[in-house]
Amino acid sequence: MLFLLGGATYAVSSLNAPKPQVTQHELQELLNPPGVAAQLNSVLNAGKEMRLYRAETTRSSDTVESLFLRLGVDDQQAASFIRANVQLRRNLLGKSSRPVKVEVDSQNKLLSLKLIWSTSESTYTLMELTRQASPESEAINSNSVFQLHQSILPLHTTVRFASARIQTSLFAATDAAQIPDSVAAQLAEVFASEIDFHRTLQKGDHFTLLYEALDADGEPMGYGKLLGAEFVSAGVAHRAMYFKDKGASEGNYFNLKGQSLKRTYLAAPLKFSRITSGYKMRFHPILQTWKAHKGIDYSAPIGTPVHTVGKGVVRVAGYMNGLGNVVFVDHSNSQTTVYAHLNQFKVKAGQTVEQGQLIGTVGETGWATGPHLHFEFRISDQYKDPSTIARQSVPIVLSGAAKALFDKQAQEFLIQIGSTGNSGDDQVSFLQ
Ligand SMILES: [Zn+2]
């Protein structure tokens, strides 16, 4: 076999060379099979030591009987042990979607049972029930037969790569690329100060991302952090990489220049979600620009949460002609944001608010032709283009040893995502 393969390789590498000589031998041997009785006997003996493995997931309606039935376990001793053990019963029964694996012998007697569930973002619990005595033993009390052991272990992380192009909406693209929702939400969140997904997303925009997939003992246990992304919108590449400095407990997202993507302001007062993504930006029927209109309108269903784009103090939370139920938030440097036509207020005048805090819900109070949020940005009470708001702030910038470590990771990251687009990092300008 090896010789033949070698010959084939040779033939490919030098077509004009003479064909190698292949010699074939025919071999005949008379086999003497053992009698049927002996064969049967050996199969039966093997069966005694046979171990079978079966896997299932728990259901919230499970009883010991229903679970054993699905797992093909037929073991009264094991059943009574589980019923009597509070710790095991509580974690195995009445919980849904927990992976459970069993090992049984040829008689379907339980040899071991493994149950896992996630304990935190990075750990899972493994509960193992192991049979100590052989199933044939005469033990009456199942407590002496089984031993229960519980341990908390770190989830195993693998990195996944995904890439997609936008045809209709961001979520249609992430669905098509089988990117989990939790990762899609992180993508929108990470670029929340860079890209106003409600307004600027176009067909043909594309993105590439790296994210963590978590598993426990080989079982998929969900997804972790978005590790990095490149989002090419209108030909400009926005990049984000998760970076945690040595000794730091938490990391942040940075562009590849080492500037934090967390800014003083978010790009939009509505979180980009599956619900809001279907709503196109609307212009006032007559006044087609923000200048004439003095703001940006975001169409969204009544009740959609409205968030302040930056930290500040609520100046007004009340009814005004035209604007309806309106919230004014004063930020530093005489900057103010205005949120109008609200249905409900979630803040009061005088209250301090953090960036991203819920301040009200979308409505159609005042002069509104349909449910939408009217959003304004003012500096010293002069109207400014709200789409420039996210750039009005200075980010955290890495330096020294952290920057050196960051640069090394950034190089690897660019290779991993196979980046080709021109960077949008240079476009970031700061007002100070
Ligand atoms: Zn408006």
Measured in Å, residue 340 CA sits from the centre of ligand 1 at: 8
User: Residue 313: how many CA atoms within 13 Å on its side-chain side?
Assistant: 5
What's the pLDDT at 366?
92
Single-letter residue type at 297: D
Residue 45 CA to residue 53 CA, distance in Å, equals 19
Res 41 pLDDT > 60 = yes
DSSP reduced 3-state for 409: helix
Q: In what order do the strands lie in the sheet with 305-307?
A: 305-307, 358-362, 342-345
Q: What is the pLDDT of residues 312-354, one digit of tens each?
A: 999 999 999 889 999 999 999 899 999 999 999 999 999 999 9
Q: How confident is the model at residue 357 (pLDDT cuts 50, 70, 90)?
A: very high
Measured in Å, residue 87 CA sits from the centre of ligand 1 at: 58
Residue 13 is encoded by which pair of tokens? 């590498």
Res 284 pLDDT > 70 = no
Measured in Å, residue 387 CA sits from the centre of ligand 1 at: 14
Neighbours of 212 (CB within 10 A): 18
Residue 280 CA to residue 134 CA, distance in Å, equals 67
Instruction: Kindly state the greatest CA–CA separation across the chain.
Output: 103
Pick the CATH number of 274-391 from 3.40.50.261, 2.70.70.10, 3.40.50.970, 1.20.1250.20: 2.70.70.10
Q: What is the pLDDT of residues 124-177, one digit of tens each?
A: 999 999 998 777 666 556 667 899 999 999 999 999 999 999 988 888 899 999
CB within 8 A of 252, min separation 6: which ones? 242, 243, 244, 260, 261, 262, 396
Residue 70 is encoded by which pair of tokens? 């699905």
- Which residue spans of the chain are classified as CATH 2.70.70.10? 274-391
**Strand partners of residue 103:** 53, 112
Say which residue, 130 or 264, is predicted with more confidence.
130
What's the pLDDT at 431?
28
- Any idea which of 95-104, 209-218, 284-293 has the lowest mean pLDDT? 284-293
Measured in Å, residue 138 CA sits from the centre of ligand 1 at: 81
Residue 80 burial (C-beta neighbours within 10 Å; 0-12, 13-18, 19+): middle
Residue 198 CA to residue 188 CA, distance in Å, equals 10
Measured in Å, residue 339 CA sits from the centre of ligand 1 at: 10
Single-letter residue type at 268: A
CB within 8 A of 209, min separation 6: which ones? 161, 162, 163, 179, 183, 187, 226, 227, 228, 229, 230, 417
Provide the whole-model pTM: 0.67
Closest of 200, 201, 203, 252 to residue 228, by C-alpha: 252
Question: Whole-number mean pLDDT of the chain?
Answer: 83
Residue 297 CA to residue 368 CA, distance in Å, equals 10
Measured in Å, residue 314 CA sits from the centre of ligand 1 at: 20
CB within 8 A of 179, min separation 6: which ones? 162, 164, 187, 209, 211
Q: How confident is the model at residue 220 (pLDDT cuts 50, 70, 90)?
A: confident
Residue 138 CA to residue 144 CA, distance in Å, equals 11
Most confident residue range from 8-22, 101-115, 193-207, 239-253 = 101-115
- Any idea which of 64-78, 85-99, 135-149, 396-410 has the lowest mean pLDDT? 135-149
Stretch 94-102: mean pLDDT, rounded? 93
For 163, list phi and psi in degrees, rounded to 5.
-150, 140
Residue 326 CA to residue 427 CA, distance in Å, equals 33
Measured in Å, residue 333 CA sits from the centre of ligand 1 at: 24
Closest of 263, 265, 268 to residue 395, by C-alpha: 263
Measured in Å, residue 233 CA sits from the centre of ligand 1 at: 25
In this structure, the dihedral spanned by the alpha carbons of residues 263, 356, 386 and 292, taken in order and rounded to 10 degrees, is: -170
**Strand partners of residue 17:** none
Measured in Å, residue 169 CA sits from the centre of ligand 1 at: 23
Res 68 pLDDT > 90 = yes
- Any idea which of 93-97, 110-114, 285-289, 333-337 has the lowest mean pLDDT? 285-289
Measured in Å, residue 168 CA sits from the centre of ligand 1 at: 25
Measured in Å, residue 306 CA sits from the centre of ligand 1 at: 15
- Which residue spans of the chain are classified as CATH 3.10.450.350? 50-154, 157-263+394-427
Cβ pair 340, 366 in contact under 8 A: yes
What's the pLDDT at 286?
43
Q: What is the DSSP letter of 63?
A: -
Residue 219 CA to residue 96 CA, distance in Å, equals 15
Cα Rg of the chain (Å, integer): 32
Measured in Å, residue 191 CA sits from the centre of ligand 1 at: 24
Handedness of CA 193, 195, 198, 199 (dihedral sign): positive
Cβ pair 289, 283 in contact under 8 A: yes
What's the pLDDT at 420?
55
Res 120 pLDDT > 70 = yes
What's the pLDDT at 278?
56
For 104, list phi and psi in degrees, rounded to 5.
-125, 160
In this structure, the dihedral spanned by the alpha carbons of residues 92, 95, 99 and 101, taken in order and rounded to 10 degrees, is: 20
Which fold, 50-154?
Answer: Nuclear Transport Factor 2; Chain: A, (3.10.450)
Res 12 pLDDT > 90 = no
CATH architecture of the region 157-263+394-427: Roll (3.10)
- Any idea which of 6-10, 60-64, 186-190, 319-323 has the lowest mean pLDDT? 6-10
Stretch 77-102: mean pLDDT, rounded? 94
% of residues, the chain, pLDDT over 90: 53
% of residues, the chain, pLDDT over 70: 80
Q: Which segments of 208-260 does DSSP mark as H helices, in order?
A: none
Measured in Å, residue 351 CA sits from the centre of ligand 1 at: 25
Closest of 398, 408, 425 to residue 230, by C-alpha: 425
What's the pLDDT at 234?
83
Residue 115 CA to residue 130 CA, distance in Å, equals 12
